[in-house]
């Protein structure tokens, strides 16, 4: 017993000494949820880049559920007055944090580096508040992709579907042959990723704008929306029985290995494809999700900057400048599967899918069809977004009728407003 | 001196338990979204709470989960305790085997059970590879059944503790009474139903309170096993509160649900504490 | 929960076996049931252990409880020292150390405070003591999710945000509710005459505690240590919310690790990591389980 107390006392004094942790000059602490293979490699690029400039990187990864645990940790850190230097946030979350007046100011760096000219307006809308740069965009992701195992399609004489009707025909054929048509993970955000695609694919970009971005009640309560849920019900029949709770990257792995033919997922899937040694555009085809050609849904990972003490500002500014430098934007996005958040980065090093993404982005900007993704936090604040998640995922996982789903959707959205 | 010894703990509890409860209760009457905001809206958040179908599902699940969890763990725990009380060999080994799940964190428990219950890899896969081709066990992914997998994992984790409490109770029963009963020729089942079980009444009460509060606080298991899914089929009040507060930036609704939970907890705990504390000081 | 340790000195009697089924059939039944149940309880741990020793190919081919053909500790070594968690590739070992730095002081302080409190409640009567004890007891039941944000604010004001001492403080605060209850219910079984005699002899407040009470209270000390150690070790919520970067405990790292799946989930590594994270608490339960039961019995539910 006595020795035990001695050990305890020793440990207590030890922990006290560790806690008075001395921070080296120019340290940045970054909270993020990029722990998956391709993603972690992408963060590694940034870490190395900063270390070359003498800024040491203190990693604070919090994995799980598209950043839900990370969000809790961030709130606790900010409430305690000890925010990290920067935190990974999605667009609407940046807005919500900015509205609370809790973000720092990067305008001096932004002016120096000339960010205003190179970042698309749709993204600036999230990064800049009241004329102040408060967050830096790391990438532009496009969630409305359909990934196809080329070999499975070739073996069965199939063509990539261009509309949801074609998709159903293709999927039925695959199912007949005993192949899982669609790799999917049953998590609310993944269900809603599909929902976004179906809303655009069946209703068109104008309908998406009205129903999702503006929450126009007549659009929400329309026959088109009923059709959207009808299609969701069909899709439910095309996934394997073991889909519940599966992580997205495991679903991607199914497509890579040919265990399933297709996946509806954002271009971050490419990170996993490349890591597995397959070639996007060759082994795994990338086409716009059925019916969404010409529309560019987007989501962007931002590093939101928090007000930090004088001693850490220099490091924070270096971090921001690094993130926005063309060389980093290129290097990072090559690994991550997305495209650079500044439009002046040449695309020649990127794979065919990313090049298509860049071209589509320009076209969509011109035609006004570059729109924030609901599933990925660029359309509605968290409360409403999750209220829609609830309905989509409940419909997908039950035998709820499409009419009931529409009624539930309107109810849910109204009560979350 | 007694006052000095007690005061740090008392101060800590006052602030960190009651202060925080009061804070939560106050927030539940405000329109707080992401962070606390003191714009009072009356009972509006409670109305929104009970209009939310997800909360209703959470309460229904609580009833199913709580009921089965308490009954399951109590019966199994008592059964094992009685078995272990039969002067068996290797008692220590058996006790350790039944107790160890208590030692595991939910992250670990989640890793194990998710794997065991996963149709493609776990139990189903094993049974099929052993030749039972038609064996199906897909509760984890069936919306109507998923809640039962949480009951299974929960019972697995807590039964050892329940067993220990009952065992302690059994060992505390006066042997003289039992011997007398046996001499009188009372059959074994009657000894149990007439003497032993009634004598365990305080143990039952303790077990019930522990299980009830674990059930209401249950959060870890759900997050580790199903994250509330498939759909919203395994949502519990605690997961609902967490997601409202931290994920959805609906602090007001989250606080309202927390207050409802605390009130229901208090309604179980306070009568118990009262009866316990009123007359436990036997000279 | 109080009855758990409710007083009865008679209850501490140390002979097991209230009743026996003397017939042979009874014994077979008892052992049969126990063996079957033990198997069910052990199966998850066993399959976890076996899986952690297999290669990925074997996991896909074999089943849950098949023995590894060539057991390998490669997965163990990897997650202990080499696996990548975020961008840092040092495995679990650093986080494992963090957990000890949190658990040991948190356990020690909360057990010590609980013992002092329990002593006061049990032997120094004052007006409203039961009410105050009841108030502390209710603290055992507070759902931790609701205290996260206000606690974060408090830690910030105290200057402890993001540090290990901050985490220790949190665990101590919510731990003393339990430890106070354990000790109070144990000490209340000590006959009041002993204290009166000691006081007549001139023994002071601390002398009574250290010379008379402490030597006889090791069973309940063990219960409290086990309870606190496992509770703090297994905590995830406080760890993820209140610990900054390098101070994170092992449960947070484990969560990051098992969610860090590079395309195919490395089940052997997940299981090895889970085993490593669970090892200290399992060892404590196995090694000290008998004391746990004895401690429960010492203040056992009265007959």
The model's pLDDT over A287-323, given as tens digits with 9 standing for 90+, comes to 999 999 999 999 999 999 999 888 889 999 999 999 9
**HEC secondary structure over chain A:** CHHHHHHHHHHHHHHHHHHCCCCCCCEEEEEECCCCHHHHHHHHHHHHHHHHCCCEEEEEECCCHHHHHHHHHHHHHHHCCCCCCEEEEEHHHHHHHHHCCCCCCCHHHHHHHCHHHHCCHHHHHHHEECCEECEEECCEECCCEEEEEHHHHHHCCCCCCCCHHHHHHHHHHHHHCCCEEECCCECHHHHHHHHHHHHHHHHHHHHHHHHHHCCCHHHHCCHHHHHHHHHHHHHHCCECCCCECCCHHHHHHHHHCCCEEEEEECCCHHHHHHHCCCCECCCEEEEECCCCCCCEEEECEEEEECCCCHHHHHHHHHHHHHHHCHHHHHHHHHHHCCECCCCCCCCCCCCHHHHHHHHHHHHHHHHCCEEECCCCCCCCCHHHHHHHHHHHHHHHCCCCCHHHHHHHHHHHHHHHC
Opening angle at CA C302, ends C299 and C303, nearest 5: 145
Which chains share 3+ C-beta pairs under 8 angstroms with A?
B, C
| Residue in B51, B227, B243 nearest the CB of A415 | B51
Backbone angles phi, psi at C127, to 5 degrees: -60, 130
| Residue in A11, A35, A82 nearest the CB of C86 | A35
pLDDT of residue C144: 86
Residue B47 distance to chain A (closest CA, Å):
10
**How does pLDDT run across A74-109, given as a tens digit for each residue?**
988 888 888 899 999 999 999 999 998 999 999 999
Instruction: Please indicate whether, in this complex, the C-beta atoms of C165 and A19 are within 8 angstroms of each other.
Output: yes
Which of A15-24, A126-135, C154-163 holds the top average pLDDT? A126-135
Give residue A8's pLDDT band: very low, low, confident or very high (50, 70, 90): very low
**How does pLDDT run across A155-174, given as a tens digit for each residue?**
999 999 999 999 999 999 99
Q: How large is the average pLDDT for residues A235-248?
A: 87
Instruction: Please indicate whether, in this complex, the C-beta atoms of B104 and C303 are within 8 angstroms of each other.
Output: no
Instruction: Please indicate whether, in this complex, the C-beta atoms of A75 and C156 are within 8 angstroms of each other.
Output: no
Instruction: Please indicate whether, in this complex, the C-beta atoms of C138 and B86 are within 8 angstroms of each other.
Output: no
Within 8 A of B107 by CB-CB distance, chain A residues are none
| Residue in A5, A8, A61 nearest the CB of C85 | A61
Instruction: Please indicate whether, in this complex, the C-beta atoms of C3 and B97 are within 8 angstroms of each other.
Output: no
Side-by-side strand order, sheet with A301-305: A56-61, A27-32, A86-90, A301-305, A135-137
Return d(Cα B22, Cα A153) in angstroms, integer: 61
List, in order of start, the domains of chain B with CATH numbers. 46-278 (1.10.3720.10)
Backbone angles phi, psi at C262, to 5 degrees: -90, 80
Residue A96 distance to chain B (closest CA, Å):
8
pLDDT of residue B120: 67
Instruction: Please indicate whether, in this complex, the C-beta atoms of C168 and A32 are within 8 angstroms of each other.
Output: no
Residue C189's contacts (CB-CB under 8 Å, 6 or more residues apart) are C7, C8, C9, C298, C299
pLDDT of residue C186: 83
- In Å, how far from its chain's centre is CA C17? 28
Between A45 and B256, the more confident residue is B256
**How does pLDDT run across C12-28, given as a tens digit for each residue?**
333 444 445 455 667 88
**CATH architecture designation of domain A145-298+380-416:** 3-Layer(aba) Sandwich (3.40)
Residues within 8 A of A (CB atoms), B 18-57 only: 33-35, 48, 51-54
Flag whether pLDDT at A231 surpasses 90.
yes
Flag whether pLDDT at A137 surpasses 70.
yes
Chain C residue with the nearest C-alpha to that of B34 = C149
Return d(Cα B246, Cα A46) in angstroms, integer: 28
User: What is each CA distance from B263 to B21, B141, B270, C33, in whole angstroms?
Assistant: 11, 33, 10, 41
pLDDT of residue B2: 77
A284: how many CB neighbours lie within 10 A of its CB? Answer: 25
Q: Would you kindly state where each structural domain of chain A is located, as residue ranges?
A: 25-141+299-356, 145-298+380-416
Q: How large is the average pLDDT for residues A198-211?
A: 96
Within 8 A of B238 by CB-CB distance, chain C residues are 143, 145
Instruction: Please indicate whether, in this complex, the C-beta atoms of A245 and B52 are within 8 angstroms of each other.
Output: no
Within 8 A of A75 by CB-CB distance, chain B residues are 34-35, 246
| Residue in C241, C245, C260 nearest the CB of A59 | C245
**How does pLDDT run across A315-363, given as a tens digit for each residue?**
999 999 999 999 889 988 888 888 999 989 998 999 999 999 999 999 9
Kindly state which CATH superfamily the domain C93-298 is placed in: MetI-like (1.10.3720.10)
Q: Do domains A25-141+299-356 and A145-298+380-416 have the same CATH topology?
A: yes
Instruction: Please indicate whether, in this complex, the C-beta atoms of A381 and B249 are within 8 angstroms of each other.
Output: yes
Chain B residue with the nearest C-alpha to that of C237 = B220
Instruction: Please indicate whether, in this complex, the C-beta atoms of A15 and C241 are within 8 angstroms of each other.
Output: no
Within 8 A of A416 by CB-CB distance, chain B residues are 248, 250
Backbone angles phi, psi at B144, to 5 degrees: -80, -20
Give residue A198's pLDDT band: very low, low, confident or very high (50, 70, 90): very high
Sequential pLDDT tens for chain B (283 residues):
778 888 889 999 999 999 999 999 999 999 888 888 889 999 999 999 998 888 999 999 999 999 999 999 999 999 999 898 888 888 888 888 898 888 887 777 877 787 777 766 677 777 777 777 767 777 777 777 888 888 988 999 899 889 988 888 888 777 787 778 777 777 777 888 888 888 888 788 778 878 887 888 788 788 878 777 777 788 899 889 988 888 888 999 999 999 999 998 888 888 887 877 775 554 3
Instruction: Please indicate whether, in this complex, the C-beta atoms of A68 and B52 are within 8 angstroms of each other.
Output: no
C146 interfaces chain A, CB cutoff of 8 Å: no
Do residues C236 and C252 touch, judged by C-beta distance below 8 A?
Answer: yes
Give me chain C's average pLDDT, please: 80
Flag whether pLDDT at C163 surpasses 60.
yes
| Residue in B16, B87, B210 nearest the CB of C1 | B210
Q: How large is the average pLDDT for residues C262-286?
A: 81
**How does pLDDT run across A14-30, given as a tens digit for each residue?**
444 443 344 446 889 99
| Residue in C109, C153, C263 nearest the CB of A249 | C263
Within 8 A of B52 by CB-CB distance, chain A residues are 415
User: β-strands A284-288, A145-149: how paired?
Assistant: antiparallel
B246 interfaces chain A, CB cutoff of 8 Å: yes
pLDDT of residue B79: 92
**How does pLDDT run across C88-136, given as a tens digit for each residue?**
777 888 888 999 999 999 999 999 999 999 988 888 777 788 888 888 8
C-alpha closest to that of A227 among A401, A347, A359: A401
Backbone angles phi, psi at C155, to 5 degrees: -60, -40
The pair of three-digit structure tokens given for residue B117, joined into one six-digit string? 């219950």
Instruction: Please indicate whether, in this complex, the C-beta atoms of C289 and B205 are within 8 angstroms of each other.
Output: no
Return d(Cα C172, Cα C182) in angstroms, integer: 15
Fold (topology level) of A25-141+299-356: D-Maltodextrin-Binding Protein; domain 2 (3.40.190)
Flag whether pLDDT at A188 surpasses 90.
no
Return d(Cα C14, Cα C295) in angstroms, integer: 12
Instruction: Please indicate whether, in this complex, the C-beta atoms of B141 and A186 are within 8 angstroms of each other.
Output: yes
Within 8 A of C136 by CB-CB distance, chain B residues are 9-10, 13
Backbone angles phi, psi at C126, to 5 degrees: -150, 165
Instruction: Please indicate whether, in this complex, the C-beta atoms of A245 and B143 are within 8 angstroms of each other.
Output: no
Which chains share 3+ C-beta pairs under 8 angstroms with C?
A, B
Instruction: Please indicate whether, in this complex, the C-beta atoms of B103 and C3 are within 8 angstroms of each other.
Output: no
Do residues A37 and A273 touch, judged by C-beta distance below 8 A?
Answer: no
C-alpha closest to that of B98 among B175, B167, B145, B150: B167
Instruction: Please indicate whether, in this complex, the C-beta atoms of B112 and C45 are within 8 angstroms of each other.
Output: yes
Flag whether pLDDT at A2 surpasses 60.
no
Residues within 8 A of A (CB atoms), C 253-272 only: 255-256, 259-265
Flag whether pLDDT at C9 surpasses 60.
no
User: What is each CA distance from C224 to B274, C178, C288, C300, in whole angstroms?
Assistant: 24, 8, 11, 15
pLDDT of residue C251: 87
Within 8 A of C105 by CB-CB distance, chain A residues are 8, 11-12, 15
Instruction: Please indicate whether, in this complex, the C-beta atoms of B231 and A396 are within 8 angstroms of each other.
Output: yes
C107 interfaces chain A, CB cutoff of 8 Å: yes
Which chains share 3+ C-beta pairs under 8 angstroms with B?
A, C
Q: Would you kindly state where each structural domain of chain C is located, as residue ranges?
A: 93-298
Q: Best residue in C84, C87, C232 to probe A by mutation, most A CBs within 10 Å?
A: C87
């Amino acid at each position: 017993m006595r020795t035990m107390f001695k050990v305890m006392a020793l440990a207590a004094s030890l922990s006290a000494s560790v806690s008075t942790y001395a921070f080296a000059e120019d340290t940045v602490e970054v909270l993020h949820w990029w722990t998956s293979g391709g993603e972690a490699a992408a963060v590694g690029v940034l870490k190395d880049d900063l270390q070359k400039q003498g800024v040491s990187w203190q990693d604070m990864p919090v994995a799980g559920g598209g950043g839900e645990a990370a969000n809790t940790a961030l709130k606790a850190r900010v409430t305690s007055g000890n925010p990290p230097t920067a935190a990974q946030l999605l667009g609407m979350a940046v807005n919500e944090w900015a509205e609370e007046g809790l973000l720092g100011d990067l305008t001096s760096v932004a002016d120096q580096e000339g960010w205003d000219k190179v970042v698309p307006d749709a993204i600036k809308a999230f990064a800049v508040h009241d004329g102040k740069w408060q967050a830096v965009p790391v990438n532009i992701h496009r969630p409305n992709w359909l990934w196809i195992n080329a070999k499975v399609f070739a073996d069965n004489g199939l063509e990539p579907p261009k509309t949801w009707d074609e998709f159903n025909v293709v999927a039925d054929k695959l199912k007949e042959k005993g192949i899982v048509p669609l790799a999917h993970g049953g998590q609310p955000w993944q269900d809603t990723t599909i929902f976004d695609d179906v809303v655009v694919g069946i209703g068109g970009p104008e309908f998406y704008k009205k129903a999702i971005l503006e929450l126009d009640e007549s659009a929400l309560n329309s026959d088109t929306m009923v059709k959207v849920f009808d299609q969701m019900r069909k899709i439910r029949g095309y996934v394997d029985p073991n889909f519940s709770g599966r992580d997205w990257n495991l679903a991607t792995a199914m497509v890579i290995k040919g265990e399933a033919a297709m996946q509806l997922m954002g271009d971050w899937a490419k990170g996993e494809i490349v890591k597995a040694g397959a070639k996007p555009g060759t082994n795994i085809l990338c086409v716009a999700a059925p019916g969404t050609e010409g529309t560019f849904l987007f989501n962007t990972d931002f590093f939101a900057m928090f007000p930090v003490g004088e001693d850490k500002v220099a490091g924070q500014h270096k971090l921001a400048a690094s993130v926005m430098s063309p060389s980093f934007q290129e290097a990072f996005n090559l690994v991550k599967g997305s495209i650079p958040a500044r439009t002046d980065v040449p695309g020649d090093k990127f794979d065919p899918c990313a090049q298509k993404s860049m071209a589509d982005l320009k076209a969509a900007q011109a035609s006004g069809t570059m729109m924030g993704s609901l599933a990925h936090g660029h359309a509605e604040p968290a409360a409403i977004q999750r209220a829609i998640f609830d309905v989509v995922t409940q419909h997908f996982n039950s035998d709820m009728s499409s009419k009931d789903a529409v009624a539930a959707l309107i109810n849910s959205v109204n009560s979350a407003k | 001196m007694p006052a000095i010894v007690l005061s740090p703990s008392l101060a800590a509890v006052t602030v960190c338990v009651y202060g925080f409860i009061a804070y939560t209760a106050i927030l539940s009457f405000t329109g707080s979204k992401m962070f606390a905001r003191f714009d009072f809206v009356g009972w509006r958040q409670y109305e929104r709470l009970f209009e939310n179908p997800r909360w209703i599902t959470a309460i229904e699940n609580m009833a199913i989960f709580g009921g089965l969890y308490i009954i399951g763990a109590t019966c199994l725990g008592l059964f094992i305790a009685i078995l272990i009380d039969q002067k068996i060999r290797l008692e220590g080994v058996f006790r350790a085997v039944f107790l160890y799940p208590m030692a595991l964190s939910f992250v670990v428990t989640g890793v194990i059970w998710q794997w065991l219950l996963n149709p493609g890899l776990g139990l189903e896969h094993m049974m099929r590879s052993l030749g039972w081709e038609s064996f199906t066990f897909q509760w984890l992914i069936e919306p109507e059944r998923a809640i039962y997998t949480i009951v299974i994992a929960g019972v697995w984790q807590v039964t050892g503790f329940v067993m220990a409490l009952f065992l302690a109770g059994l060992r505390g029963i006066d042997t003289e009474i039992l011997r007398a009963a046996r001499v009188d020729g009372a059959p074994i089942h009657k000894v149990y139903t007439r003497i032993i079980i009634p004598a365990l009444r305080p143990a039952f009460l303790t077990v019930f309170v522990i299980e009830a509060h674990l059930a209401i606080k249950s959060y870890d298991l759900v997050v580790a096993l199903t994250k509330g899914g498939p759909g919203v089929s395994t949502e519990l009040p605690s997961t609902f509160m967490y997601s409202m507060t931290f994920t959805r930036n609906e602090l007001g609704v989250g606080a309202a649900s927390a207050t409802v939970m605390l009130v229901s907890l208090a309604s179980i705990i306070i009568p118990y504490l009262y009866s316990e504390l009123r007359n436990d000081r036997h000279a | 929960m109080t009855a758990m340790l409710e007083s009865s000195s008679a209850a501490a009697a140390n002979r097991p076996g209230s009743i026996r089924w003397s017939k042979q059939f009874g014994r077979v039944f008892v052992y049969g049931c126990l063996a079957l149940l033990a198997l069910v309880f052990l199966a998850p741990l066993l399959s976890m252990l076996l899986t952690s020793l297999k290669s990925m190919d074997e996991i896909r081919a074999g089943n849950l409880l098949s023995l590894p053909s060539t057991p390998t500790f490669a997965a163990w070594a990897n997650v202990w020292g080499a696996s990548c968690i975020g961008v840092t590739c040092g495995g679990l070992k650093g986080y494992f150390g963090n957990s000890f730095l949190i658990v040991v002081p948190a356990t020690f302080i909360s057990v010590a405070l609980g013992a002092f409190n329990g002593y006061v409640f049990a032997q120094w009567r004052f007006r409203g003591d039961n009410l105050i004890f009841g108030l502390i007891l209710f603290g055992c039941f507070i759902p931790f999710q609701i205290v996260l944000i206000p606690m974060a604010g408090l830690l910030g004001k105290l200057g402890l945000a993001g540090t290990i001492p901050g985490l220790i403080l949190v665990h101590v605060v919510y731990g003393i509710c339990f430890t106070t209850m354990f000790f109070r219910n144990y000490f209340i079984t000590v006959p009041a005459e002993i204290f009166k005699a000691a006081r007549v002899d001139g023994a002071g407040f601390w002398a009574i505690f250290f010379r008379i009470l402490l030597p006889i209270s090791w069973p309940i000390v063990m219960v409290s240590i086990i309870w606190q150690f496992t509770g703090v070790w297994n905590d995830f919520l406080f760890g993820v919310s209140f610990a900054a970067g390098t101070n994170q405990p092992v449960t947070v790292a484990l969560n990051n690790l098992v969610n860090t799946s590079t395309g195919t989930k490395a089940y052997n590594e997940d299981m090895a990591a889970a085993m490593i994270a669970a090892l200290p608490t399992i060892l404590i339960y196995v090694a000290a389980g008998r004391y746990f039961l004895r401690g429960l019995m010492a203040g056992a539910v009265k007959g």
